[in-house]
Amino acid sequence: MNKELRRKKRYQAEKRFQVYGIIAISLAIFFVGILVTKIFSDGTSAFSRTMIKTEIKLDADLLGITDINNKDEVENADYYTLIYDEFTKSIPFSNDEEEKQIITLLSPDYEYEAKDFFLKNKDQLGKTVTILLTASDDFDQLHKGNFPRDIPEDRRRLSNFQLQIYDQLVKENKVTKVFNNYLFTKGDSRDPELAGFGGAIIGSFFTILICLIISFPIALMAAVYLEEFAPKNRITELIEININNLAAVPSIVYGLFALGILLNVLELPRSTALVGGIALSLMTLPRIIIPARASLKAVPPSIREGALAVGASKVQAVFHHVVPLAMPGTLSGTIIGLAQALGETAPLLLIGMVAFVVEIPGSPLDPSSSLPVQVYLWSESAERGFVEKTSATIMMLLGFLIVMNSLAVYARQKFEKKWN
Amino acid sequence: MELNMNREAKVISKNVDVFYGNKQALFDINLEIFKNEVTALIGPSGCGKSTFLRCINRMNDVIDICKISGEIEIDGFNIYKQGVDVVRLREKVGMVFQKPNPFPKSIYDNIAYGPNIHGIAQNKQELDEIVENSLKKAALWNEVKDRLNEPGTGLSGGQQQRLCIARAISINPEIILMDEPCSALDPIATAKIEELIDSLKSSYTIVIVTHSMAQAARVSQRTGFFHLGKLIEMDETDKIFKNPNNKMTQDYITGRFG
Ligand SMILES: Nc1ncnc2c1ncn2[C@@H]1O[C@H](COP(=O)(O)OP(=O)(O)O)[C@@H](O)[C@H]1O
Ligand SMILES: [Mg+2]
């Protein structure tokens, strides 16, 4: 009877344990679900941009163009006045204040957009054309339904007059949403509707590239030496322990190091992908060395013996046989290390990659931002337009991380040799 | 079995002691291995057969804690003398391991690797010839000639072991060491390897470690019996199996221990 009871208890304990496990997993999925839903619901609207359709007469006098073939004239024509005059003309207003309110419905870059349009449609000079102009951030958010209309006018960023214009434009079918290519092609901007993470992506790319170029060969060589050649003694033991410790050092410490040595002593250019990449490679080194050593260790000794027995030198045995066999594991470790580096923010903040960078960086020596830093920067801004862009940037970052981690799994499964 | 009367010692072991750290694995081994004969080393597991075999091509060098004293002469030259090039030594002394260990590469590349690193072949055609001859000598050619580009690891166990023998032969060694080459194989594959060993002895000096006394009796001309790190007795195989001098040898071959 006692035995029976105990058996029952054991089964119950097992059941209970499984239930705890299921609860834990459900909770985890629940929270990840909330996070992802929140990011997507905030971020998807960033992928579209609100445009206002406007009829415009490409007036040569207004533009100040006398000869269409004169490059200089076309280049420096007065697109600002053209749009200002034509756009305000299209909507009736009664005083200067209202005129100002009309023009601020457009994003401040309208003169460049008009210029781009004109350069592609020079033959239309003197004719009336329909042109799409990017709407201001507030207008954009209003159209996306993120703008609260029912609060008192003095607490709103759009006046009653502006709301009226919006309703009128919508009625006339003059408001449309297009795919927001600015998000991918532009750098940062004070105006949310003109800001993009294009610069941040290029910055991240250069940073990770530098990180890869520096950390991969060094880590591989270190792993090969420690695993295959180094004598097993106190010193190598100490090195091994320290490598494991380095992998656990908070990343901001590497940032401090980069700040102190790379910027202050070596005087490398501030805010650049070069310095960011070096700082991140310090952090990534141990994270590659550890899986690389594990992969080398996993290559059966019989392969080394086989090579040595036909007269290969130790170096030949290692580089002809062991290293290639350890490559899949090493590569997957490298990709995961780089993915971690891609999401790293703190060290980059310290070396000044947090700067407001409008220009898309052309090389690792240009000041640049990076995806996680862009998230950090935009998350500080109150404008609704930056809130959606923050989430869109996170989506982008997550996308890259998922791709990289899948690649790592693929590298391991596809190329790793199975030892029977 | 008729024996060559003017035998020539290919390998001579003189006072060889081997230590793994503090533990002595071999005690004062003195023996001779004759040219173009098969010499079998038998004894219970852990008695030091592999350790001794690995002394002959200095494979023990890769084990940090392994220390060797004494001399092993090959053709009268002490391979443990200072400054001996182990790469050259292993060109001369090939080895086949207990578990087949082909490289995870194509059958062709498995054989071509040795000749390549030693620069034995002048061109692709010569290399092709070496590969073909090695596989023929290892009695594997007919089975694999149509799939030289397939991975060596895809062959059966017995074929893999013959591939490893072919790989050892490819650099034209004078001595081939085999450490229980059949222990992972089925009887049919074993029979093939034994046949192969017999055919190879005209060109090579072969030392084979085996746990099977029947195998030692079948393939070898001379047999050495090891026990607890000591060479108890070494003599003609016939003599060892029919009328050993030592009581312990007698007990071992009659299956009283081991
Ligand atoms: N790499 C090693 N490190 C430490 N001890 C070893 C090593 N290899 C073999 N030995 C020891 O040396 C002795 C002889 O081993 P071995 O030569 O493999 O025997 P056998 O091949 O006859 O079975 C055994 O006691 C074994 O434990
Ligand atoms: Mg053994």
Alpha helices in A68-197 (DSSP H): 71-75, 79-89, 96-103, 110-120, 137-143, 160-171, 182-185
Cα B245 to averaged position of ligand 1 atoms, centre (Å) = 27
**From ligand 1's centre to the CA of B23, what distance in Å?**
10
A150 shares a domain with A285: no
Q: Does a structural domain hold residue A275?
A: yes
Please name the amino acid found at residue A189: S
Q: Give the tokens for residue B212.
A: 């099977």
**One domain, residues A87 and A236:** no
Asked if A163 and A144 sit in the same domain, the reply is: yes
Tracing tokens 């199975």 back to the chain, one arrives at A418
Residue A277 belongs to a domain:
yes
Residues facing B221 on adjacent strands: none
Per-residue pLDDT of chain B (258 residues; tens, 9 = 90+): 445 567 889 999 999 999 999 999 999 999 999 999 999 999 999 999 999 999 999 999 888 899 999 999 999 999 999 999 999 999 999 999 999 999 999 999 999 999 999 998 889 999 999 999 999 988 899 999 999 999 999 999 999 999 999 999 999 999 999 999 998 888 888 998 999 999 999 999 999 999 888 999 999 999 999 999 999 999 999 999 999 999 999 999 888 776
The whole-angstrom distance between residue B181's C-alpha and the CA centroid of its chain comes to 8
Q: Cβ < 6 Å from ligand 1: which residues? A: B 20, 25, 43, 45-51, 63
Q: A306 and A399: one domain? A: yes
Residues A273 and A398 in one domain: yes
Which residue puts its alpha carbon closest to atom 12 of ligand 1? B25
Per the CB < 8 Å rule, is A307 touching B113? yes
In degrees and rounded to multiples of 5, residue B82 shows phi and psi of -55, 140
Among the three residues A180, A211, A243, which one is the final residue of a domain in this structure?
A: A180
Q: How many CA atoms lie within 13 A of A80 on its CB side?
A: 4
Q: Residue A144 pLDDT more than 80?
A: yes
Atom of ligand 1 nearest to the CA of B53: 17
pLDDT at B4: 57
Tell whether A167 and A252 lie within a shared domain.
no
> Hey, what domains does chain B have and what are their CATH numbers?
9-253 (3.40.50.300)
Q: Which residues pair with A273 in a beta bridge?
A: none
Q: How many CA atoms lie within 13 A of B113 on its CB side?
A: 29
Residue A405, H or E segment: helix A384-415
Of A131, A153, A180, the residue that ends a domain is: A180
Task: Say which CATH number the domain at A409 has.
Answer: 1.10.3720.10
Same domain for A61 and A106, yes or no, is yes
Residue recorded with tokens 């443990």: B80
Whether A186 maps to a domain, the answer reads: no
Could you say which ligand is closest to the alpha carbon of residue B51? 1
Q: Classify residue A88: in a domain, yes or no.
A: yes
- Contacts with A, B 19-78, CB within 8 Å: 57, 59, 62, 64
Condensed to tens digits (0 to 9), the pLDDT of residues A276-313 reads 999 999 999 999 999 999 999 999 999 999 999 999 99
Give a three-class secondary structure readout of A352-378.
Answer: CCCCCCCCCCCCCCCECCCHHHHHHHH
What is the distance of C-alpha B14 from the center of its chain? 19
The answer to the question of residue A187 being in a domain is no
Ligand lying closest to the C-alpha of residue B22: 1
Residue contact B97–A306, C-beta within 8 A: yes
Nearest CB among A231, A302, A314 relative to B101 is that of: A302
Distance A81 CA to ligand 1 centre (A): 92
Q: What is the DSSP-derived secondary structure letter of residue B104?
A: S
Q: What is the DSSP letter of A344?
A: -
Q: Given phi > 0 = left and psi -120 to 50 = alpha, else beta, which region is B36?
A: left
Tokens of A228: 């295959």
Structurally, chain A folds into a number of domains equal to 3
Half-sphere exposure in the Cβ direction for B110 (13 Å, CA): 34
A249 domain-assigned = yes
Residues A100 and A25 in one domain: no
| Least confident segment among A139-153, A236-250, B35-49 | A139-153
Query: Which of B88, B104, B113 has the CB atom closest to A310's CB atom?
Result: B113
Query: pLDDT tens digits for A326-350?
Result: 998 999 999 999 999 999 888 999 8
Contacts of B94 in chain A (CB under 8 A): 309-310
Contact in structure between A210 and A277 (CB atoms under 8 Å): yes
A86 and A217 together in one domain: no
Q: Is B219 helix (H, G, I), strand (E, B) or coil?
A: helix
The four Cα atoms A36, A37, A40, A42 give a dihedral, to 10 degrees, of -120
- Longest CA–CA separation in chain A, Å: 108
Beta-bridged to residue B15, according to DSSP, are: none
Q: Does the residue A389 lie in any domain?
A: yes
Tell me which residue of A327, A329, A332, A346 sits closest to A404, measured CA to CA: A332
**Pair B22, B67: CB distance under 8 Å:** no
Same domain, A12 and A53: no
User: Is the same domain home to A225 and A259?
Assistant: yes
ipTM of the modeled complex: 0.91
Residue A346 inside a domain? The answer is: yes
Same structural domain, A134 and A270 = no
**In terms of residue numbers, what domain contains A132?**
48-180
State which of A134, A153, A180 marks the end of a domain.
Answer: A180
Q: How far is B223 from chain A (nearest CA, A)?
A: 24
Taking the centre of ligand 2 as the mean of its atom positions, its distance from the CA of residue B229, in whole angstroms, is 12
Q: How far is CA A409 from CA A212, A323, A406, A413, A414, in A?
A: 18, 19, 5, 6, 8
